[in-house]
Amino acid sequence: MTPLADTLQASGEIDPTWHNTFAAIDRAAFLPDRIWLPDADGRYRPIDRTQHPDTWHTAAQADEPVVTHLDTSTGTQIPTSSASKPTVVARMLAALDPQPGHRILEAGTGAGYNTALLAHRCGDHRVVSVEYDPRLADAARHALQAAGHSPLIVTGDAADGHPDRAPYDRIIV
């Protein structure tokens, strides 16, 4: 049971039918050991799980977005992947309205947290998630397996979908 699920329900962001799903999936399990949080100057500061475990876990359980990959190759900080704010995730999933047994196509696996929520709700074999970045796809696949889920993670362009498992009842981008 994650405290994040209780926080979301207390704020009215998830209804009781989603509470068990959010409670079963620990967002922290899908975040890398190093995440980045914005500071007062608008720059991102790294938070390492081993060096600052309390800060890292607080950020992982907060209702805030977390940058999971940062490109600094140009001398600036450009977020290239993030874990969305959980209330945004809850709203997107409520709008999607996936039901147990629905076949789901997700465009953009990212860290795999949303994928895990969908797999828990609909069934592992009912969820296909397409991720463009092979490193993110691999990390998400490993995190999902460690959490006991095995949806199909496809590395490729989500614009192509994944026709082998079509048709889908729901598509989330």
Q: How many residues does the chain have?
A: 173
Provide the percentage of residues in the chain whose pLDDT is more than 90.
Answer: 86
Write down the pLDDT at residue 45. Answer: 95
In this predicted model, what pLDDT tens digit does every residue of 114-152 receive, in sequence order? 999 999 999 999 999 999 999 999 999 999 999 999 999
Write down the pLDDT at residue 51. Answer: 97
Catalytic residue among 82, 84, 129, 150: 84
- Residues 32, 83: contact at Cβ < 8 Å? no
In this structure, which topology does domain 86-172 adopt according to CATH? Rossmann fold (3.40.50)
Verify whether residue 84 is a known catalytic residue. yes
Question: Given a cut of 80, is residue 2 above it in pLDDT?
Answer: no
Whether the ω angle into residue 167 lies within 30 degrees of 0, i.e. cis, is yes
Amino acid at 114: N
* Per-domain boundaries in the chain: 3-83, 86-172
Question: Given a cut of 70, is residue 167 above it in pLDDT?
Answer: yes
Write down the pLDDT at residue 42. Answer: 86
At 48, list the tokens.
């390492």
Lowest mean per-residue pLDDT among 1-10, 83-92, 156-165:
1-10
Question: Given a cut of 80, is residue 1 above it in pLDDT?
Answer: no
Question: Given a cut of 70, is residue 165 above it in pLDDT?
Answer: yes
- Residues 149, 69: contact at Cβ < 8 Å? no
Question: Residue 10: helix, strand or coil by DSSP?
Answer: helix
Enter the DSSP assignment of 163.
Answer: G
Residue showing tokens 């009781």: 16
CA triple 145-146-152, angle to 5 deg: 15
Rounded CA separation 61/23 (Å)? 11
Write down the pLDDT at residue 58. Answer: 96
Strand duo 44-48 + 66-71: pairing: unpaired
In this predicted model, what pLDDT tens digit does every residue of 9-56 receive, in sequence order? 888 888 788 999 999 999 999 999 999 999 999 899 999 999 999 999
Sheet strands side by side (includes 34-38): 44-48, 34-38, 66-71, 78-83
Quick one: average pLDDT of 52-79? 94
